[in-house]
């Protein structure tokens, strides 16, 4: 039996997803369920003067309408924020249904209960709400002035200021003695995550015993269960949370949402099943958004362009309230603003401010794309100043292979890395020399089709997270993951994991790990997940943690099963444990080829327990909870090639190469798939996507007509390769890859855009690089 | 209003409100939930089915408009437990991750191939312009459709 | 998103459709493929109380050689236009442009009549028909009448059709061998054009503009300039004359005017003499 880890095994999940057999929340058949319709504030900031439910109650099929006041007694606590980043952080009480005042369009002000999907929609449309509009705070810098304070109880729009300045004097000295300095201001526009499955929730009260089953389209059934208990007062052991098939999350389903709490509260109040499915247009305001930062980054460098200090100040948009991990998102990037470069002095400060907009929170990469963007754009600016190529400036500054493990200036220990080979290979894949020549030729010939080539080398910290590090960041939970591996009497295996897949192919990867460890066919392995009754302990899926934390837990549990099986095998075959070898799924007595027992037979012996050693318990079922000693630090280099039409400002992404290193790969098919999707999400930030709000705080592009999620027609295929630098911190040598593509791609594309426009003297372009924006910049440049 | 629609070769009949969307007829009345709803504006293509043999977005068709018609959904694509070659190609090329856009994507792709519109990579990319996927970056979807089209020719 | 309730009636013949429109008056809307109307109804931006479904009037789905012109039934779908050999030979601009509307699924349902009668300035086919100098045929309670396409688009989403009239046919002059070009500028393939230009050159020059005002428009100044022997460059420079471009997230009026210049130039160049 040859090992499967490292080979492109086709996914076990696919047949049910390809045939329509998979069940997402909205697919569940729930007898007697009432459909909920959310009445959302049409004003970004307003007092709610009155709510008239009468017209809604007259709609056929509408049974009840609840306002915020009606539901106030349903909450044991306000909605949770699990990351109080500072002791004095302002966290205004946030109720699932607003009482008295609405703070963003999308804030729920009333809930309609109806017998059908259509009646719920009609009812929500019919509720009459009178608003007394207040001035809306939309712009982040305006919010920071406290011209209008959104939350009276806080007294300011600033939620917190968090700083990481290990050695202030060193930073000052570096800037004082710098030959080159770069000062840049970048805007991380707000993004709408747009998981293809809108959110949904269904709550089914059990007829006897008071238990409640909550089905939710969530990345975090385990965390959600705890938070539902805390916020509704339902005892935790009375709750079972199930995430059925989940259609993508990208961080947006790493949250505890008002609708989940409302569905639970109303199911309890009325003792009926309740359900709600989000509309896409509703999703744009009701589901957390990503990014939303203004970044100031300064580099100090010597005459050769060797960076001596990085100083960063951020203003981060929290939105109207703090959701589950809102304040912590910018801080996930706080440690990475020096990127892949060996920088001795470091300073970071972030202020989070409230605005009258949808709350921000995790979105693929969460803090790390922003950090990577800033340093990777700034180093291109430095290259221009020093007068060297954008490849050369990077080579001069990379942390060198012999510096690993690398004690970073921000206080992290980078586990392993070798950055320059990824650059070399990416440049080779894209044909860098040829492209530079073509670019020069086009420029010389006066072509109006401008070629731009952009490089980005990234490193990220992922595999969230060592619990003690989380404690130091004031995060309210641990970062471990739990796993159980058990053999059933007939030799089949079950893997129980606290990781919660929503597209990542965990069932395949976990089966591969156990197949190799225990010599069992992957089709004989079942993975149980995403249901707190089947998998009671878990920390779920986000932060590229599933393999490097959850997978490692599984690997360790499988090893424990094997260790116990070895003891039983030795006993059964009357051999010494040391004389046993485990080959092709069976224990063999070295030198006695006829004496062998397959692991399936040992599973049966463990089950019957007729003949076990004295101190050995029946059954083969072992559990491990693994708390990683460190993050993992995947890295890579991405190169983007764009062509800009000077006449229209249109940008086309014409070629793209990425060389990534996530250590050992379990399933290269899944790794490349994660990269493809991640790259496109990052490219989309660069070229197409932005949640645009007007001065009144109205989202102007809530539909997928106006919010430009790209299709296949706008994109090329990608040239991928990888290097392998195993992580020394875990026995699998693996690192995360779920967010890497998004982290590497945005700066590569924007560096390419700026490179293309450099003949016009253009040195920065705001995102997204829309044709209108580029055309305007070119016009300005031409008239300068 | 009474409508009769053949769904995956099976006659179905129901009294429906005129405003009932075909996708809700398929999901809520017939009970086939493989067809998904991903948006409100005919933008994402998750709800793509075949109506009288052609790909359409079932969120933008009323059930009453499909009265007397014949619908094929993702559930009707596999035969005798065997995946349709397009489904098989998606699997072999890792053309899906979360799977939510997949039924619509597959139905759109089958229609493209059946109409003979798949000639090269560009034709696939253009042909899938009305189907959004947030997971795969389309790279492997395009590969899958090209592979299935190649298979259909040989 | 779910449409508000409405009554639904199905027309069996064009006469029946006209009769139903007469009965229900202003509250009624015609439903053909539904791909302009239903999205608006789902967002509840349109709430007609009666839909008159003309989608089954199969007799109005045809592309016929009618001597000096091609006659196209109003219920002919974009897909049928895109695959028509007759159009390919006689009016290739229309055949090509039909293949640029929406996406394949939309083209399987959407009809030329629906698109024209909706009168959306951002739609492709109205501008194409303006360039081609098409004639539209409408049927009302008192019979049929012809409307020159130049007289058809009267305001934002408003047309010369009376509330009880049904668009039945589109007549497009044959122009085999004419030079043509269709320039559609957008950020995503599936989107409406930010600006589009349809151009046909066959002795005279016809240029239609997409999304440059409250109605589909002709680039009359450019057409005249070319007619008087101006260079392509000079003709393109007046492409935005008489337009009133909208402002939205994708483009300011100024940028749209600029795009009109660029795209008209490209269209004239591609269409050739």
pLDDT band at B153 (very low <50, low <70, confident <90, very high): confident
Mean pLDDT of C180-195: 96
With a cut of 90, say whether residue B59 has pLDDT above it. Answer: yes
Contact A650 C185 (CB under 8 A): yes
CA atoms within 13 A on the CB side of A579: 14
C41, C53, C108: residue with CB nearest B56: C108
pTM listed for this prediction: 0.98
Are residues A22 and B99, on separate chains, in Cβ contact within 8 Å?
yes
A646-664 confidence digits (pLDDT tens): 999 999 999 999 999 999 9
Residue B91 has pLDDT above 80, yes or no: yes
A569-A574-A580 Cα angle (round to 5)? 50
The pLDDT of residue A207: 86
Q: What residues 100-129 of chain B have any CB closer than 8 A to a CB of chain C?
A: 108, 111-112, 115, 117, 126-127, 129
Distance CA A660, CA B147 (A): 26
Q: What is the largest CA-CA distance in chain A?
A: 91
Q: Residue A563: count other Cβ atoms within 10 Å of its Cβ.
A: 11
Q: Do B61 and C34 touch (CB under 8 A)?
A: yes
Closest CA–CA distance from residue C196 to any residue of chain A (Å): 13
Cα–Cα distance for residue pair A430/A122, rounded to 1 Å: 54
Q: Give the span between the Cα atoms of A105 and B51, in whole angstroms.
A: 38
Predicted pLDDT of residue C201: 96
Q: Measure the CA angle with vertex A704, ends A700 and A707; round to 5°.
A: 50
What is the percentage of chain B residues whose pLDDT exceeds 90?
95
pLDDT tens-digit profile of A698-737? Answer: 999 999 999 999 999 999 999 999 999 999 999 999 999 9
> Which pLDDT does position A52 carry in this prediction?
98
C-beta of residue A724 within 8 angstroms of C-beta of residue A666: no
Secondary element (H or E) of residue A560:
helix A552-572
- A131/C contact by beta carbon, under 8 A: no
The CA distance from C255 to the nearest CA of chain A, in Å, is 7
Q: Which of A51, A228, A45, A70 is nearest to A151 (CA)?
A: A45
From the list A122, A647, A708, the residue facing C188 with the nearest CB is A708
Q: Which of A189, A648, A651, A716 to mutate to test the interface with C (most CBs of C within 10 A)?
A: A648
Q: How far is CA A105 from CA A73, A136, A138, A191, A362, in A?
A: 24, 11, 12, 16, 20
| Phi, psi of C167, rounded to the nearest 5 degrees | -70, 125
Nearest to A686 by CA among A749, A742, A743, A739: A749
Nearest to B135 among A248, A277, A718 (CB): A248
User: Confidence band (pLDDT; 50, 70, 90) for A7?
Assistant: very high
Question: CB distance C106–B42 less than 8 Å?
Answer: yes
Q: Whose CA is closest to A638, among A471, A478, A419?
A: A419
| For residues A231-240, average pLDDT | 97
Give the whole-angstrom CA distance, residue B17 versus residue A783. Answer: 61
Distance from CA of C125 to the nearest CA of A (A): 19
**Helices (runs of H) and strands (runs of E) counted in chain A:** 20, 28
| Average pLDDT of span A517-539 | 97
For the ranges A227-231, A591-595, B35-39, which has the lowest average pLDDT?
Answer: A591-595
Residues 6+ apart with CB under 8 A from A256: A79, A80, A223, A224, A227, A228, A231, A323, A324
Range name among A231-235, A314-318, A445-449, C43-47 with the lowest pLDDT average:
C43-47
- Encode pLDDT of A264-317 as tens digits: 999 999 999 999 999 999 999 999 999 999 999 999 999 999 999 999 999 999
DSSP string, A276-316: EE--HHHHHHHS-BEEEEEEEEEEEE-TT--EEEEEEEEEE
Question: Mean pLDDT over all residues of chain A?
Answer: 97
How would residue A1 be classed by pLDDT, with cut points 50, 70 and 90? Answer: confident
Asked if the model's pLDDT at residue C273 lies above 90, the reply is no
* Interfacial residues of C (vs B; Cβ cutoff 8 Å): 1-8, 10, 31, 34-35, 38-39, 41-43, 51, 53, 55, 79, 102-106, 108-109, 188-190
Residue A137 CB contacts under 8 Å (≥ 6 apart), including other chains: A45, A143, A147, A148, A150, A157, A354, A355, A356, A697
Dump pLDDT digits (tens) for A35-49. Answer: 999 999 999 999 999
CA distance B13 to A397: 70
> Using 50, 70 and 90 to split pLDDT, how confident is the model at C215?
very high
Q: Which of B17, B19, B54 sits opposite C108 (nearest CB)?
A: B54
Question: What backbone torsions phi and psi does residue A79 show, to the nearest 5 degrees?
Answer: -60, 145
What are the C-alpha distances in Å from C253 to residues A768, A778, C240?
20, 17, 10
Burial of A434 (0-12, 13-18, 19+ CB in 10 A): exposed
Confirm if B74 and B11 have CB atoms less than 8 A apart.
Answer: no
Q: What are phi and psi of C11, to 5 degrees?
A: -90, 135
Partner residue facing B45 (CB), from C35, C39, C105: C105
Q: Which chains touch C (3 or more CB pairs under 8 A)?
A: A, B
**Which of B41, B65, B111 shows the shortest C-beta gap to C39?**
B41
Contact partners, residue C85, CB within 8 Å, separation at least 6: none
* CA–CA gap between residue A192 and residue A285 (Å, rounded): 9
pLDDT of residue C110: 96
Nearest CA in chain B to A656: B139
> For the sheet containing C143-148, what is the strand order?
C63-66, C69-73, C166-173, C135-140, C143-148
Measured distance CA(B99)–CA(C118) in Å, rounded: 36
Q: What is the mean pLDDT of residues A411-434?
A: 98
Residue A491 region by backbone torsions, left for phi larger than 0, else alpha for psi between -120 and 50, else beta: left
B154 has pLDDT over 70? no
Contacts of C4 in chain B (CB under 8 A): 19
List pLDDT tens digits, range A74-110.
999 999 999 999 999 999 999 999 999 999 999 999 9
Whether residue B19 lies within 8 A of chain A, CB to CB, comes out as yes
- Average pLDDT of the residues in A483-497: 98
Tell me which residue has tokens 């094997």.
Answer: A562
ipTM of the complex: 0.98
**DSSP letters for C34-46:** -TTHHHHHHTTS-
């Amino acid at each position: 039996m040859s090992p499967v880890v490292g080979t492109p095994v086709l996914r076990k999940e696919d047949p049910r997803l390809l045939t329509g057999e998979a069940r997402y929340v909205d697919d569940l058949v729930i007898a007697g369920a009432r459909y909920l319709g959310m009445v959302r504030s049409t004003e970004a900031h307003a007092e709610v003067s009155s709510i008239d439910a009468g017209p809604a109650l007259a709609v056929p099929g509408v049974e009840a309408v609840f306002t915020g006041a009606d539901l106030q007694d349903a909450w044991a606590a306000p909605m949770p924020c699990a990351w109080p980043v500072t002791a004095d952080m302002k966290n205004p009480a946030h109720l699932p249904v607003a009482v008295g005042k609405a703070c963003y369009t999308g804030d729920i002000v009333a809930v309609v209960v109806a017998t059908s999907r259509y009646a719920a929609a009609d009812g929500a449309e019919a509720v009459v709400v009178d608003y007394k509009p207040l001035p809306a705070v939309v712009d982040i810098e305006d919010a920071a002035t406290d011209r209008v304070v959104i939350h009276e109880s806080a007294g300011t729009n600033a939620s917190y200021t968090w700083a990481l300045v290990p050695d202030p004097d060193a930073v000052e000295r570096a800037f004082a003695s710098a030959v080159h300095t770069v000062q840049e201001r970048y805007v991380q526009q707000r993004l709408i995550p747009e998981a293809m499955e809108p959110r949904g929730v269904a709550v089914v009260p059990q007829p006897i015993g008071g238990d409640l089953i909550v089905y939710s389209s969530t990345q975090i059934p385990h965390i959600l269960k705890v938070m539902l208990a805390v916020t509704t007062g339902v005892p935790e052991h009375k709750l079972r949370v199930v995430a059925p098939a989940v259609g993508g999350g990208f961080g947006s389903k790493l949250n505890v949402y008002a609708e989940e709490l409302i569905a639970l509260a109303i199911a309890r109040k009325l003792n009926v099943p309740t359900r709600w499915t989000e509309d896409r247009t509703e999703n744009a305001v009701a589901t957390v958004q990503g990014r939303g930062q203004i970044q100031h980054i300064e580099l100090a460098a010597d005459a050769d362009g060797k960076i001596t200090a990085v100083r960063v100040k951020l203003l981060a948009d929290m939105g109207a309230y703090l959701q589950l991990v809102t304040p912590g998102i910018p801080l996930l990037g706080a440690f990475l603003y020096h990127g892949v470069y060996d920088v001795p002095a470091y300073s970071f400060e972030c202020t989070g401010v409230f605005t009258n907009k949808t709350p921000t929170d995790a979105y693929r990469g969460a803090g790390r794309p922003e950090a990577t963007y800033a340093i990777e754009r700034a180093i291109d600016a430095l290259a221009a100043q020093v007068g060297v190529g954008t490849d050369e400036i990077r080579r001069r500054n990379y942390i060198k292979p012999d510096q690993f493990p690398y004690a970073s200036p921000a206080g992290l220990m980078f586990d392993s890395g070798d950055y320059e080979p990824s650059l070399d290979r990416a440049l080779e894949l894209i044909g860098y020399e040829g492209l530079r020549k073509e670019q020069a030729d086009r420029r010389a010939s006066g072509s109006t089709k401008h070629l731009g080539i952009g490089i980005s080398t990234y490193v990220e910290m992922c595999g969230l997270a060592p619990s003690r590090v989380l404690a130091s960041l004031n995060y309210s939970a641990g970062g471990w993951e739990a796993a159980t591996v058990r053999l059933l009497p007939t030799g089949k295996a079950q893997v129980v994991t606290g990781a919660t897949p929503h597209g990542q192919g965990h069932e395949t990867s976990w089966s591969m790990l156990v197949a190799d460890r225990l010599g069992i066919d992957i089709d004989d392995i079942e993975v149980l997940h995403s249901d707190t009754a089947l998998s009671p302990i878990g920390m779920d899926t986000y932060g590229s943690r599933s393999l490097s934390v959850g997978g490692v837990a599984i690997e360790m549990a499988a090893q424990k099963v094997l260790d116990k099986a070895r003891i039983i095998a030795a006993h059964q075959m009357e051999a010494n444990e040391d004389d046993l070898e485990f080959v092709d799924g069976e224990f063999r007595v070295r030198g006695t080829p006829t004496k062998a027992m397959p692991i399936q037979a040992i599973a049966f012996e463990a089950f019957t327990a007729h003949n076990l050693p004295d101190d050995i318990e029946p059954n083969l079922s072992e559990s491990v909870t693994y708390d990683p000693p460190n993050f993992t630090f995947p890295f890579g280099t991405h190169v983007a090639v764009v062509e800009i039409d000077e006449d229209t400002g249109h940008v086309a992404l014409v070629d793209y190469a990425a060389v990534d290193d996530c250590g050992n790969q379990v399933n290269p098919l899944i790794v490349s798939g994660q990269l493809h999707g991640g790259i496109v999400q990052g490219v989309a930030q660069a070229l197409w996507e932005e949640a645009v709000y007007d001065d009144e705080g109205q989202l102007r592009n809530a539909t997928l007509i106006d919010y430009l999620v790209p299709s296949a027609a706008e994109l090329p295929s990608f040239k991928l390769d990888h290097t392998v630098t195993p992580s020394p911190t875990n026995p699998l040598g693996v690192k995360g890859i779920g967010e890497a593509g998004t982290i590497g791609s945005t700066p590569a594309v924007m560096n390419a855009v700026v490179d293309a426009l450099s003949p016009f003297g253009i040195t920065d372009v705001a995102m997204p690089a829309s044709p209108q924006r580029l055309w305007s910049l070119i016009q300005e440049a031409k008239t300068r | 209003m009474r409508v009769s629609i053949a769904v995956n070769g099976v006659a179905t009949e129901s009294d429906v409100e005129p405003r009932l969307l075909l996708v809700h007829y398929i999901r809520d009345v017939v009970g086939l939930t493989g067809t998904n709803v991903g948006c409100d504006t005919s933008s994402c293509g998750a709800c793509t089915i075949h109506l009288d043999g052609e790909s359409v977005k079932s969120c933008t068709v009323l059930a009453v408009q499909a009265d007397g018609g014949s619908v094929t959904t993702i559930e009707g694509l596999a035969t005798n437990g065997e995946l349709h070659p397009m489904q098989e190609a998606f699997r072999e090329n890792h053309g899906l991750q979360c799977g939510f856009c997949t039924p619509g994507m597959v139905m759109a792709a089958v229609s493209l191939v059946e109409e003979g519109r798949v000639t090269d990579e560009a034709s696939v990319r253009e042909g899938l312009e009305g189907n959004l996927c947030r997971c795969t970056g389309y790279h492997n979807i395009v590969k899958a459709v090209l592979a299935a089209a190649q298979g259909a020719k040989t | 998103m779910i449409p508000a309730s409405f009554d639904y009636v199905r027309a069996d013949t064009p006469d029946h459709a006209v009769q139903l429109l007469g009965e229900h008056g202003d509250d009624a809307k015609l439903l053909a493929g539904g791909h302009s109307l239903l999205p608006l109804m789902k967002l509840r931006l349109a709430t007609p109380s009666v839909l008159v479904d003309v989608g089954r009037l199969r007799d109005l789905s045809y592309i016929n050689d009618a001597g000096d012109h091609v006659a196209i039934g109003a219920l002919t779908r974009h897909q049928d236009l895109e695959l028509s050999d007759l159009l390919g030979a006689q009016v290739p601009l229309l055949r090509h442009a039909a293949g640029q509307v929406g996406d394949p699924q939309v083209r399987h349902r959407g009809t030329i009549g629906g698109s024209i009668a909706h009168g959306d300035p951002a739609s492709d086919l109205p501008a194409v028909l303006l360039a081609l100098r098409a004639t539209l045929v409408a049927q009302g309670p008192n019979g049929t009448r012809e409307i020159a396409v130049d007289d058809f688009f009267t305001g934002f989403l408003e047309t010369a059709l009376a509330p009880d009239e049904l668009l039945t046919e589109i007549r497009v002059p044959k122009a085999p061998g004419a030079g043509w070009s269709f320039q559609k500028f957008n950020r995503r393939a599936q989107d409406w054009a930010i600006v589009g230009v349809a151009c046909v050159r066959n002795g005279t020059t016809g240029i239609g503009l997409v999304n440059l005002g409250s109605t589909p428009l002709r680039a009359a100044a450019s057409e005249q300039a070319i007619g008087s022997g101006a260079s392509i460059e000079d003709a393109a420079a007046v492409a935005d004359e008489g337009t009133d471009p909208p402002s939205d997230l994708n483009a300011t009026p100024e940028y749209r005017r600029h795009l009109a210049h660029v795209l008209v130039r490209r269209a004239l160049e591609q269409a050739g003499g």
